[in-house]
């Protein structure tokens, strides 16, 4: 049997932190050859990144330690070779790109210099390195590479920066490219472009691609084989079709089932009654930047309206304008017969109880120094007329139960909970005000896929039981499919399409909506890029 | 970026002006200004004559007007003790202070940057711990005490260097050494923590993935990013030195601006005091400008 | 972006030692620093009451004694001056003024600076800028010289000394508080509180201030050392504390003419200044780690291994 280009066998890595030893990776094995794409699929804490970091010698030892296993590159033992030889292989024959390209590029040096450095350090003369840099920059789709090579990372967009990182990795035609969540931080439409680029480069150069991701859509789109990791172990491996279509392990089954946007679209209840919230012609400028252009939509009682858009679309700005966190320049928000935008602080105070908000980052949205009880009951401290003090504890426990938490959680602190639990606490806090409308500003975007679906189910549940209306803000379409009644699509501050959820998903009218839909990757390997593939 | 620098410059000028105005009014309003200029036991007639001669009986506004006019011409009047223009007296002393401060800061920066970078590479290692102890002790030592001890041990006790005065390069050793200690300790701490931050950043991870050697990672990738906060602290320290290292100059008999200022205050030579304030403030202002420029040079995000 | 989390970890289990003490003992240097500082504080509080007489008593028979000779009594262990007064006693007595001046200065500067910083961080742009400019103006004055000049013109009473020193230190607290407030303001839990209808007062005092206090405390500790050094310099130059009041800085100055014959007169007080400043630095470092939840594990780790 010919040896694999990259062969990881029984790898175990542990970390010493906070007086404990954490086994981040346990007996993980996988292999990769040229021309094929292997996806490592897992949620956060699964150990997928650590496994890849071990290959690239990026684990800090201490506090990390490789306790067992081997990593072979073309038969050579990476873990026990002299540092000089290892460095030769890293960057030349095995290259890596990372998740957040802005943080991973040195802000004080021109990008051309940084890309050429990847080649210079391995002995290429400076002139050749420069030429190759320009060539690579052009190949990855940067226009005007001669000029742009002198620019700095902050002068590029997110997608462009990732292209630059890819260029940086390709200098010596590596055998293996490791991509650690390369598109997670990017907009959905940009993500598709980057993945296409990776595919094209892979086909051109014949390199092997090790793709680390939590997104089943990406796995389905890109990979030939996949391994699934959970809590440091490999729970399933196989060809992509098998793993996604017929998952064997319960964890994989859970993951596959949790992917949003499967099954039938929610048959939204379209109400003819008067809307409870009417947003009309909101406009906002940040200096010269026109953030909101004439944004208008309605919300009916008990209904869920999703606002979908990529970064810079104005969706969060709209939400903040409605709750008067950042006032709009012009326009109106009608609620209960009044225009919220025209109210003074005192009058707004009385209405605040009816409209509450849940934020994106559960780590940050709870005061780390307040207990869960204090966080939830703060609502009643501020609005003394909702609930008498002697009933606070009782009600906090009721709310915790409503959101699926336990009574003993009331006296703990936010850092003792997981992301999903913190988001539940945030929901309980919002519910404490007994609102009629809850605005979720990317409330599930920062959560693991399996947790996302739980939280969305909870919100759905609350809508049915309590009749609360929702404005649900998201950056891609699939996640709203199960939850929204109507969808509003925004781009660059303006609404490009509005309609009920069935229409948006099945017959999108605007080109941008169509593009957004097309860029949402389905976890079905036979539906790559909209084409059907013959079974492998 | 030009606007940024311009704003800051204008601002420093305003502060400088404010300082002079403050001193002016303080000197006029806190009792008899003549008392500040004349010996304590000067008879009343001398005081009156003095006041008349100096125009101190004129209305405050016109005094202030004269003050401003003279200020524009760098005319602070004559030193009462030396019978020479105060401004000239100060400008004679300034090069000594500049020399001391300059030499000290060069040594501080080179020493602290190298040591701090090396300490940051292996946090908790032997080197790091030694440099932590050094920086802690250095940052806690009062310069006047160090000066006295240094003279006692090295000049008087061992006789390696002269005790005070100027004239030979040997005379500079102790003053610079004493001045060096505290800024070194402080800058070292900042370099170390800044470098630790830079070395654990994401772009350093990229460099390692590319195969860049550790030395290049430390001194090419991390160092430049780490320098930004260091420059701020170093600038503060340099400003302190430019103020005239009052104590060190006094103890070592260095004829710099600091010593001049103290002597002038104790000798009640107020024109020299005013001139000295102006000169040092201008120097600090220039230095702040240079620091802002250094910032822009180091960090392209400010430039573009 | 995906989340990592611990699933409902149990609340802190009870330990034999109170948490703070345990964390302190984990850092040996900080422990030593606290012990030393406590001794200094005790000296500052009761020193003058106990030793004022002894420190002031002129005794020609025991003048100019070199240190480490015990035949004239324990108090002479650090030597004595030309009037026969024991240095150790004088140092203990002088501790009170040294600590008091630095203490009052830091308290005044931190309260005023933090309040201004809170206002600057939380109010409209105009007011915020104005306050910041004020801080910049104060910072750009050559502080030591300004102190010298002002004290010279206004006479160096203890009150004036504290006022002048405090004014020069205000900008440090102001800028730090303002920067922290600006950053915390944007955090989501503050936004959430606003959406709930919390008033600005509530947000400032219930949400923001508790998060700023740790940083302030850390800075204040360092600042104490700085002010102590500054006061010492001023006293050394003759512009600070005037006799018969005494501080460590003044003691060093008074010993200067006798350097050749009696080096210990200047050495010991200066050494105490150094040790006190070092202790404050160490405690400040410890505070910084303890009060930062993400760094605390370093000390907790050591604590765990110590207790097995």
Whichever domain contains B236, its CATH number is 1.10.3720.10
Query: Residues B17, B122: one domain?
Result: no
Same structural domain, B66 and B119: no
Place C218 in a pLDDT band, splitting at 50, 70 and 90. Answer: confident
Residues of chain B with pLDDT under 70: 1-5, 8, 11-12, 15-16, 19, 23, 26-40, 54-57, 80, 244, 304
Put simply, whether B186 touches C (Cβ < 8 Å) is no
pLDDT at A63: 78
The verdict on B7 and B36 lying in the same domain is yes
CA A501/CA A483 separation, integer angstroms: 9
Cα A220 to Cα A241: distance, rounded to the nearest angstrom: 8
Q: Is residue B273 part of a domain?
A: no
Same domain, B117 and B261: yes
φ, ψ at B168 (rounded to 5°): -120, 160
Interval A154-173: pLDDT, tens: 999 989 999 999 999 998 99
Q: What pLDDT is attached to residue C15?
A: 44
CB–CB contact C3 A451 (8 Å): yes
Residue among A58, A95, A105 whose CB faces B208 most closely: A58
Q: What is the CATH number of domain C53-282?
A: 1.10.3720.10
Q: Are residues B68 and B136 in the same domain?
A: no
Provide the pLDDT for residue A277. Answer: 92
User: Which chains sit next to C, with 3 or more Cβ pairs under 8 A?
Assistant: A, B
Smallest CA–CA distance from C152 into chain B, residue? B265
pLDDT at A117 over 70: yes
What is the pLDDT confidence band of residue A386, given thresholds at 50, 70 and 90? Answer: confident
Q: What is the structure's pLDDT at C119?
A: 87
The partner residue sitting opposite B273, judged by closest CB among C149, C267, C277, is C149
Per-residue pLDDT, averaged over C19-30, amounts to: 80
pLDDT confidence tier of residue C193, bands split at 50, 70 and 90:
very high
A484 or B302, higher pLDDT: A484
* Chain A residues closer than 8 Å to C208 by CB: none
Give residue-wise pLDDT tens across range B28-84: 655 555 666 666 677 777 777 777 776 666 777 777 787 778 777 777 777 767 778
Burial grade of A84 (CB within 10 A; 0-12, 13-18, 19 or more): exposed
Check whether residue B22 and residue B128 sit in a common domain. no
Interface test mutation site (partner B, options A49, A117, A169, max chain B beta carbons within 10 A): A117
The CATH architecture that domain A277-354+435-533 belongs to is 3-Layer(aba) Sandwich (3.40)
Q: From residue A275, how far is each of A172, A330, B116 by CA, in Å?
A: 61, 21, 64
Q: Which of B107, B129, B245, B123 is nearest to B187 (CA)?
A: B107
Across the interface, of A364, A383, A412, the residue whose CB is closest to C197 is: A383
Q: What is the mean pLDDT of chain A?
A: 89
Position A464 pLDDT exceeds 80: yes
pLDDT band at A534 (very low <50, low <70, confident <90, very high): very low
- b/e C1-36 (16+ beta carbons within 10 angstroms → b): ebbebeeeeeeeeeeeeeeeebbbbbbebbbebbeb
Asked whether the predicted pLDDT for residue C111 surpasses 70, the reply is: yes
Residues of A in Cβ contact (< 8 Å) with B208: 56-58, 90
* Mean local confidence (pLDDT), C75-90: 81
The answer to the question of residue B147 being in a domain is yes
**DSSP secondary structure, A5-38, as one string:** SEEEEEEEEEEEETTEEEEEEEEEEEEE-TT-EE
- Clarify whether residues B147 and B117 are in a common domain: yes
Would B180 be classed as within a structural domain?
yes
Q: Could you tell me the pLDDT band of residue C296, with boundaries at 50, 70 and 90?
A: low
pLDDT value of residue B21: 74
Same-domain status, B156 and B255: yes
If you average pLDDT over every residue of chain C, what do you get? 80
| B301 contacts B47 by C-beta, under 8 angstroms | no
Question: What's the rounded Cα separation, in Å, for the pair C102 and C105?
Answer: 5
B41 assigned to some structural domain: yes
Which residues in chain A are contacts of B213 at CB distance < 8 A? 87, 121
Provide the phi-psi class of A73: left if phi over 0, else alpha when psi is between -120 and 50, else beta: beta
pLDDT at residue C302 is higher than 90 = no
Show residues of chain A in contact with B225, CB under 8 Å: 106-108
Identify the three-state secondary structure at position A213.
Answer: strand
C194 phi and psi angles, rounded to 5 deg? -65, -40
Which of A93-107, A494-508, B157-171, B244-258 is the least confident region?
B157-171
Read off the pLDDT of each residue in C24-35 and give the average, rounded to a whole number: 86
- Helix ranges (DSSP H) in A90-187: 101-104, 111-120, 126-139, 145-148, 158-169
Tell me the average pLDDT across A77-102: 90
| Residues A208-244: tens digit of each pLDDT | 999 999 989 899 999 999 999 999 999 999 999 999 8
Q: Are residues B45 and B188 in the same domain?
A: no
Q: Determine the angle formed by the axes of helices C87-122 and C248-255, rounding to 10 degrees.
A: 130
Quick check: pTM over 0.90?
A: no
Distances (CA, A) of C233 to B105, B211, C110: 21, 52, 22
> Which residue has better confidence, C232 or A438?
A438
Pick the closest to residue A520 from A216, A246, A283 (CA basis). Answer: A216
How far is the C-alpha of C222 from the C-alpha of C240, rounded, in Å?
21
Q: For C29, phi and psi rounded to 5 degrees? A: -65, -45
Q: Is residue A281 over pLDDT 80?
A: yes
Indicate the pLDDT class of residue A297, thresholds 50, 70 and 90.
very high
Contact across the interface for B203 and A154, Cβ inside 8 Å: no
Listed in sequence order, the DSSP H helices in chain B are: 2-29, 33-37, 44-53, 60-72, 86-121, 126-140, 143-150, 170-199, 202-210, 214-216, 223-242, 246-252, 257-266, 270-298, 300-303
Contact A483, A267 (CB under 8 A): no
Chain B positions touching A122 (Cβ under 8 A) are: 211
Calculate mean pLDDT across residues A38-51.
90
Which pLDDT does position A39 carry in this prediction? 95
What digits encode the pLDDT tens for the residues C155-172? 778 888 898 889 888 988
Q: B178 vs C123, which has greater pLDDT?
A: B178
Q: In terms of C-beta density within 10 A (0-12 exposed, 13-18 middle, 19 or more buried), how is residue C81 classed?
A: buried
C72 and C65 in contact (C-beta within 8 Å)?
yes
Tokens 């750009």 correspond to: C140
Residue C14's pLDDT is: 41
What integer pLDDT is reported at residue A104 of this predicted model? 94
Residue A219's pLDDT is what? 92
Query: CA–CA separation, B27 vs C149, rounded Å?
Result: 10
Measured in angstroms, the CA of B18 and the nearest CA of chain A are apart by 33
Q: Which residue segment(s) compose the domain that B217 sits in?
A: 93-267
**Domain total of chain B:** 2
Residues of chain B with C-beta less than 8 angstroms from the C-beta of C271? 145
Give the minimum alpha-carbon distance from B214 to chain A in angstroms, rounded to a whole number.
11
**Which helix (DSSP H) or strand (DSSP E) does residue A76 occupy?**
strand A76-77
B165, B219: one domain: yes
Secondary structure of residue B76 in the 3-state scheme: coil
Arithmetic mean of pLDDT, A133-146: 93
| Residue B152 shares a structural domain with residue B107 | yes
The domain locations on chain A are: 106-171, 277-354+435-533
Which tokens hold the place of C308?
């097995």
ipTM reported for the complex, 2 dp: 0.83
The answer on pLDDT for A279 being more than 90 is yes
Decide if B109 is inside a domain. Answer: yes
Cα angle for residues A312, A317, A323 (degrees, 5° grid): 165
Kindly list the distances between the CA atom of residue A304 and the CA atoms of A90, A437, C159, C223, in Å, as whole numbers in the listed order.
50, 9, 66, 55
Question: Higher pLDDT residue, B278 or A33?
Answer: A33
Report DSSP letters for C216-270, one per residue.
HHHHHHHHHHHHHHHHHHHHHHTSSS-TTS--HHHHHHHHGGGTTT-THHHHHHH
pLDDT at residue A194 greater than cutoff 90:
yes
Confidence at residue A530, expressed as pLDDT on a 0 to 100 scale: 44
CB pairs under 8 A between B and C: 116
Residue identified by tokens 């401290």 is A381
């Amino acid at each position: 049997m010919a040896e694999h280009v990259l062969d990881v066998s029984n790898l175990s890595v542990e970390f010493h932190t906070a007086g404990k030893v954490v086994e981040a990776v346990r007996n993980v094995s996988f292999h990769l050859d040229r021309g094929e794409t292997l996806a490592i699929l897992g949620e956060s804490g699964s150990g997928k990144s650590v496994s890849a970091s071990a290959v690239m010698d990026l684990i800090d030892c201490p506090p990390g330690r490789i306790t067992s296993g081997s990593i072979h590159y073309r038969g050579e033992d990476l873990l026990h070779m002299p540092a000089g030889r290892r460095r030769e292989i890293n960057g030349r024959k095995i290259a890596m790109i990372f998740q957040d390209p802005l943080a991973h590029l040195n802000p004080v040096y021109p990008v051309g210099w940084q890309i050429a450095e990847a080649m210079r350090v391995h002995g290429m003369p400076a002139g050749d390195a420069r030429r190759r840099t320009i060539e690579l920059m052009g190949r990855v789709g940067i226009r005007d590479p001669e000029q742009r090579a002198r620019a700095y990372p902050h002068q590029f967009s997110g997608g462009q920066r990732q292209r630059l990182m890819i260029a940086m990795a390709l200098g010596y035609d590596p055998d293996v490219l490791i991509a650690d969540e390369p598109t997670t931080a990017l907009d959905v439409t940009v993500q598709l472009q980057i993945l296409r680029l990776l595919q094209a480069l892979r086909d051109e150069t014949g390199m092997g691609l090790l793709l680390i991701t939590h997104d089943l859509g990406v796995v389905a789109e890109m990979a030939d084989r996949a391994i699934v990791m959970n809590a440091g172990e490999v729970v399933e491996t196989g060809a992509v079709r098998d793993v996604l279509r017929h998952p064997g392990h319960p964890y994989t089954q859970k993951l596959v089932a949790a992917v949003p946007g499967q099954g039938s679209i929610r048959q939204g209840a379209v109400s003819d009654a008067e809307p409870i919230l009417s947003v009309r012609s909101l406009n906002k400028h940040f200096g010269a930047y026109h953030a909101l252009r004439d944004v208008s939509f309605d919300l009916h009682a008990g209904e869920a309206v999703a606002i979908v858009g990529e970064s810079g679309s104005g969706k969060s700005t709209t939400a903040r304008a409605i709750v008067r966190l950042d006032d709009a320049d012009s326009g109106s928000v009608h609620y209960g017969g009044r225009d919220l935008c025209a109210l003074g602080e005192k009058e707004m105070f009385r209405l605040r109880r009816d409209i509450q908000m849940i934020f994106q980052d559960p780590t940050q949205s709870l005061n780390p120094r307040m207990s869960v009880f204090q966080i939830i009951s703060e609502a009643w401290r501020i609005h003394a007329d909702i609930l008498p003090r002697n009933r606070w504890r009782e009600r906090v426990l009721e709310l915790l139960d409503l959101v699926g938490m336990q009574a003993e959680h009331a006296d703990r602190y936010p850092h003792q909970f997981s992301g999903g639990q913190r988001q539940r606490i945030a929901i309980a806090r919002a519910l404490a005000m007994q609102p009629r409308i809850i605005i979720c500003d990317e409330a599930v975007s920062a959560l693991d896929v399996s947790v996302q679906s739980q939280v969305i189910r909870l919100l759905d549940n609350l809508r049915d039981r309590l009749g609360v209306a929702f404005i649900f803000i998201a950056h891609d379409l699939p996640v709203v499919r199960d939850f929204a009644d109507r969808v509003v699509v925004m781009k660059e501050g303006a609404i490009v399409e509005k309609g009920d959820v069935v229409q948006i998903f099945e017959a999108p009218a605007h080109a941008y909506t169509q593009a957004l839909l097309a860029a949402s990757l389905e976890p079905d390997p036979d539906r790559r890029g909209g084409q059907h593939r013959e079974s492998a | 970026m030009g606007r940024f620098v311009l704003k800051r410059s204008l601002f420093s000028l305003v502060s400088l002006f404010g300082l002079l105005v403050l001193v002016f009014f303080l000197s006029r309003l806190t009792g008899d200004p003549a008392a500040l200029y004349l010996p304590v036991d000067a008879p009343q007639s001398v005081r009156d004559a003095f006041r008349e001669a100096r125009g101190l009986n004129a209305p405050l506004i016109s005094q202030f007007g004269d003050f401003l006019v003279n200020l524009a011409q760098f005319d602070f009047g004559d030193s009462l003790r030396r019978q020479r223009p105060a401004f000239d007296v100060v400008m004679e002393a300034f090069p000594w202070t500049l020399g001391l401060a300059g030499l000290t800061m060069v040594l501080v920066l080179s020493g602290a940057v190298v040591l701090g970078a090396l300490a940051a590479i292996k946090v908790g290692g032997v080197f790091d711990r030694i440099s932590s102890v050094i920086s802690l002790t250095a940052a806690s030592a009062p310069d006047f005490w160090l000066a006295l001890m240094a003279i006692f041990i090295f000049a008087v006790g061992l006789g390696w260097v002269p005790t005070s005065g100027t004239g030979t390069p040997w005379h500079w050793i102790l003053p610079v050494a004493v001045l060096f200690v505290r800024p070194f300790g402080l800058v070292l701490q900042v370099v170390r923590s800044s470098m630790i931050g830079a070395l654990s950043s994401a772009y350093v991870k990229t460099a390692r993935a590319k195969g860049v050697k550790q030395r290049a990672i430390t001194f090419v990738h991390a160092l430049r990013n780490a320098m930004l906060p260091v420059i701020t602290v170093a600038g503060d320290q340099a400003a302190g030195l430019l103020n005239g290292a009052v104590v060190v100059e006094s103890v070592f008999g260095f004829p710099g601006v600091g010593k001049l200022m103290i002597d002038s205050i104790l000798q009640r030579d107020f024109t020299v005091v005013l001139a000295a304030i102006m000169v040092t403030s201008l120097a600090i202002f220039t230095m702040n400008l240079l620091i802002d420029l250094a910032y822009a040079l180091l960090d392209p995000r400010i430039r573009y | 972006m995906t989340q990592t989390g611990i699933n409902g970890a149990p609340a802190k289990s009870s330990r034999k030692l109170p948490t703070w003490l345990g964390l302190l003992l984990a850092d040996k240097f900080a422990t030593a620093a606290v012990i030393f500082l406590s001794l200094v504080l005790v000296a500052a509080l009761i020193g003058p009451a106990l030793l004022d007489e002894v420190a002031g008593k002129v005794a020609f028979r025991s003048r100019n004694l070199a240190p480490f000779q015990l035949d004239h009594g324990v108090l002479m262990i650090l030597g004595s001056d030309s009037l026969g007064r024991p240095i150790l006693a004088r140092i203990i007595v002088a501790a009170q003024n040294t600590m008091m001046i630095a203490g009052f200065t830091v308290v005044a500067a931190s309260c005023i600076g933090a309040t201004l910083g809170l206002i600057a961080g939380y109010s409209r742009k105009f007011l915020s800028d104005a306050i910041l400019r004020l801080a910049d103006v104060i910072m750009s004055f050559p502080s030591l010289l300004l102190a010298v000049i002002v004290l010279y013109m206004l006479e160096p009473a203890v009150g004036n000394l504290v006022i002048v020193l405090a004014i020069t230190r205000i900008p440090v607290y102001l800028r730090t508080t303002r920067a922290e407030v600006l950053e915390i303001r944007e955090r989501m839990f503050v936004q959430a509180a606003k959406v709930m209808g919390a008033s600005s007062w509530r947000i400032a005092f219930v949400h923001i201030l508790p998060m700023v206090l740790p940083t302030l405390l850390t800075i204040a500790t360092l600042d104490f050392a700085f002010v102590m050094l500054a006061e010492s310099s001023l006293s050394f130059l003759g512009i600070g504390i005037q006799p018969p009041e005494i501080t460590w800085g003044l003691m060093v100055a008074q010993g200067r003419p006798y350097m050749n014959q009696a080096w210990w007169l200047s050495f010991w007080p200066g050494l105490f200044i150094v040790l006190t400043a070092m202790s404050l630095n160490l405690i400040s470092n410890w505070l910084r780690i303890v009060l930062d939840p993400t760094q605390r594990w370093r000390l907790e780790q050591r604590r765990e291994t110590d207790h097995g």
